[in-house]
Amino acid sequence: MQRWQRSKHHAETWDRMSEIIRLVSQINDVTKRGISVVHAMALLPEAEHARFWNEQFLPLAAQEHALREKLMIVGQRNPSTSSIQ
């Protein structure tokens, strides 16, 4: 493999790993917000739990799910150049 191909491969790998780290960080942030929402919900009267859950927690759960799908796609993506053995 020529040197420029190795450099390109390494650059693509670093870009991919940076994207994975960014997505994991975003998932972590959303998860923390979800935990905070659940704690806040526990302080409310039981009659308000369902509304609060639907308005506050479910959007975060959907956001987390979308981020996890992106992470799976990025994690499964193959570099455009052949891998170094």
Residues 72-83 have pLDDT tens digits of 999 998 766 444
The predicted structure's pLDDT at residue 11: 83
Check residue 47 and report its DSSP letter.
G
Residue 34 contacts residue 57 (beta carbons within 8 Å): yes
Q: Higher confidence at residue 9 or residue 29?
A: 29
Q: Could you give the CA distance from residue 29 to residue 81 in angstroms, rounded to a whole number?
A: 33
The answer, as to whether pTM is greater than 0.75, is: yes
